[in-house]
A and B are shown apart, each in its own frame.
Chain A
Amino acid sequence: MTDPISPRDDHSTTASNAGPTRPDGGNSTRADGGETQSRVFLEDGDAELDRGPLQRWVDDSIKNPDKVYRAMFYTAAIFFLVTTLFPFYWLLMVALTPEGQLSDIILTPNGFNPGAFIEVFQTIPFHWYVFNSFVIATASTVLVLVVGSLAGYAFGRLEFPAKVPLLLLVLVISFFPPAAFFIPLNDLFNTSFFILEPITGDGTLYNTPGAMVLPLSAIFMPLAIFILTTFYAQIPDGLEDAARVEGTTRLGALFRVIIPLSAPGVATAGVLTFIAVYNEFFFSFLMTDGQPESWAPLLEGILAYQGQYEVLYHLMAAASIIGVIPVAILVIVAQEKIVSGLTAGALKE
């Protein structure tokens, strides 16, 4: 077993083996499961030969390919960690660098100026934009969860003739680009409605949270409906029947039995909707005039630095970091929900 491999311990070939050919070379001769045997040989051989750590590692790897896979796996994991996290780290370095010394930042900031994180709020009312974003995202999430729960209950637990066509119709909506909806909506939200006058002043929805909450709720509702349908359908009929026999109304059964029992699913749909609305660009960008008093969300705050304050790169970076923090916390707290929600929603569709 070790015979075809041991010649490779030769110095000239170890170099070539250190390359990517290693897994193949090690593995093709190794697939029959003689691992324990080769380990015994390995220990004998190592004791006699005087070799450097690299060669010993290579030799070891050839005899024990699992170790190579482990190494490849760690290399890949570290590569992905670095590529996903480095932009955030770099952003922090830019934010910490004082104005005017912003060139050639790679791993360390040129100076230390944490004041940028306070300056962000002084230059423009950035907190106002963040607050607006929170209000819009929360309102959309509540609307999506209530309306989506009703629909999810109907799709998940009731039988009716048009079920499949209607479900497909919901799916189709999530396929269309927002641009295809935008032009008439822009007209509609700029039209003055008499009923709205006491609420919005001039009677239009433009520059109000409604102009963003309504379209964003509609656009992200399909995903929530699919997630909630999956979860609601899993509740045993007996529990609902018991509640009904006890005298609960139909809606009461939904809100007191089905929804509480599907709390993880509701949380999942809620977290995903919140992140999606908070991150959305198209309607958030076009449905306000960009002023914080007009309910302009976070993205207008960040773009304000790009437009008006062209050279304040460190503030752009600091504002971006502040904008990421809420979703980063959500991801850390609710990562399992996000994973299960995305997969449940997508695979259902």
Chain B
Amino acid sequence: MATDTDGEAVIGSERRSETDRTGNAVVNWMENLSEAAYAYLLLIPAFALLALIAFYPLIATFITSLRADQTRGAEPLGGFVGIDNYVDILTGNARLARQFIDVAFSTSFPFVEFGTPFLQQALFVTIGFAVISVFFETVIGFGQAYVLDQEFRGRRWVRVAIILPWAVPIVIQGMIFFLLFQPEVGFGTEVGQWLGIFGPNPLADSQDAFIIILVADIWKSSAFMALLILAGLQSVDRSLYDVARVAGATPWQRFKRITLPLVLPALLVAMLFRTMDAMRVYGLIESSVGCTTVPSLTCLVVEAMFGGTRIYATAAAVAFATALVIGLIISVYVVFFRDTEGGLY
């Protein structure tokens, strides 16, 4: 690296002779670049990595998704078929073990019919998971942030305890909840049955397993929400509370009129992040209840890829459709909350 070139020619050519000792043509060239050119030079490594890992695969995925599946023969992909794969996955006709979405419209109430159970359709599973988990994580995260915002002895350790689930590897999170709800070992099944929400084998039942996944995700990810909301809380000017107290505002009024509006930008950013993350859910499902029981969008991609049926084009279409769904959700957030003070970016 060029960091050892102390006596480098910074200003002019009169010190060029010194560069023989330390510098070289590359360093000189770098010194003489304009600010913008130097900036682009520094960005090259980052964008080269992103191009290799993100831009190129994204485009390649899209191109693959426009071709036909070739289940026989040496070539993995068939000819160009346009948006046929997307039509197939949207109409529930794809060659997938679990459908992306399988809904038919009918003329009678409620005007939609599910071809397969609701929780066996990846799009609904994923969106349902994202909406419910983000809702509970926001509420619990707010509670945790409120606790961490107070001054008390041992706050440091309470903060460690609250952050800890966030730092747990996904596979271990999955393992913990697998064991908790494994009828032989864990007591979670009995608790669930006592509450009347679980059947005999919750790990194999779509609805029960969906609840397990939700609980696991809320346990782990509330901390993330709490940290971002805490940052918002701590930026609130404390004297506002004093003013409100003098004016006779109840704690609830103080929360509604001062805390909430001021924390809202941070809260929205945190919710956006969590939503995107929840839409990608895969590892938690794979390591606890399994993709057959609760098929998420990413589950579908992986199963199509490695299911042995060679439906790579369909897999690519599902993958790209997943990206589109997430992009759509982000757009909704941005459009709805563009006017919020502080903004999303």
Contact = CB atoms under 8 A, between A and B. Distances in A.
Interface string A20-63: 00010001100111000000000000000000000000000000
Contacts of B127: none
A170 B45 CA distance: 13
B315 interface: yes
B319 interface: yes
Interface stretch (B90-98, B102-110, B269-277): B269-277
Contacts of A175: 276, 326-327, 330
A173 B319 contact: no
Contacts of B330: 175
Given A214-B49, A306-B175, A153 B57 contact: no
Most buried by B among A28, A80, A338: A80
A1 interface: no
Contacts of A168: 345
Contacts of A255: 1, 3
B38 interface: yes
Contacts of B50: 169-170, 173, 218, 221
Nearest to B176: A87
Given A179-B282, A214-B49, A251-B30, A306 B167 contact: no
A104 B35 contact: no
Given A179-B301, A181-B58, A183-B64, A339 B230 contact: yes
Range of interface residues on A (Cβ < 8 Å) = 35 or more
A346 B58 contact: no
B36 A349 contact: no
A280 interface: yes
A249 interface: yes
Interface string A299-319: 100110010000001001101
B164 A331 contact: yes
Contacts of B177: 87
Nearest to A344: B231
Contacts of B301: 179, 182-183
Nearest to A300: B171
Interface in B61-82: 61, 64
Contact of A81 (B64, B158, B280): B158
B36 A182 contact: no
Interface centre among B7, B43, B251, B273 (most CB of A within 10 A): B43
Interface string A240-263: 000011011111100110000000
A230 B49 CA distance: 21
B64 A69 contact: no
B159 interface: yes
Interface stretch (B112-120, B194-202, B204-212, B220-228): B220-228
**Dominant SS at the A interface?**
helix
B335 interface: no
B171 A160 contact: no
Given A81-B158, A177-B322, A347 B43 contact: no
Nearest to B11: A245
A196 interface: no
B172 A184 contact: no
Interface string B144-183: 1011001010001011111111011111100111111010
A281 B187 contact: no
Contact of A179 (B27, B287, B297): B297
Residue of B175, B219, B312 ringed by the most chain A CB atoms within 10 A: B175
Contacts of B169: 278-279, 281, 298-299, 323-324, 327
Closest 8 CB pairs of A and B: A281-B283, A218-B53, A343-B231, A184-B60, A299-B171, A160-B36, A151-B46, A184-B57
23 contacts: A33-B246, A77-B147, A77-B152, A85-B161, A175-B330, A178-B280, A178-B298, A180-B319, A180-B320, A181-B53, A183-B316, A245-B10, A251-B2, A252-B3, A255-B3, A281-B170, A281-B282, A282-B298, A299-B169, A324-B172, A327-B169, A331-B167, A343-B228
Interface of B: 1-8, 10, 23, 27, 30-31, 35-36, 38-40, 42-43, 45-47, 49-50, 52-54, 56-58, 60-61, 64, 143-144, 146-147, 150, 152, 156, 158-165, 167-172, 175-180, 182, 184-185, 187, 219, 223-224, 227-228, 230-231, 245-246, 248-251, 266, 269-270, 273, 276, 279-280, 282-284, 286-287, 297-298, 301-302, 305, 312, 315-316, 318-320, 322-323, 326-327, 330, 345
Interface of A: 23, 27-28, 31-33, 69, 73, 76-77, 80-81, 83-85, 87-88, 90-91, 94, 102-106, 143, 146-148, 150-151, 153-154, 158-163, 166, 168-171, 173, 175-186, 188, 214-215, 217-219, 221, 225, 244-245, 247-252, 255-256, 275, 278-282, 285-286, 298-299, 302-303, 306, 313, 316-317, 319-320, 323-324, 327-328, 330-332, 335, 338-339, 342-343, 346-347, 349
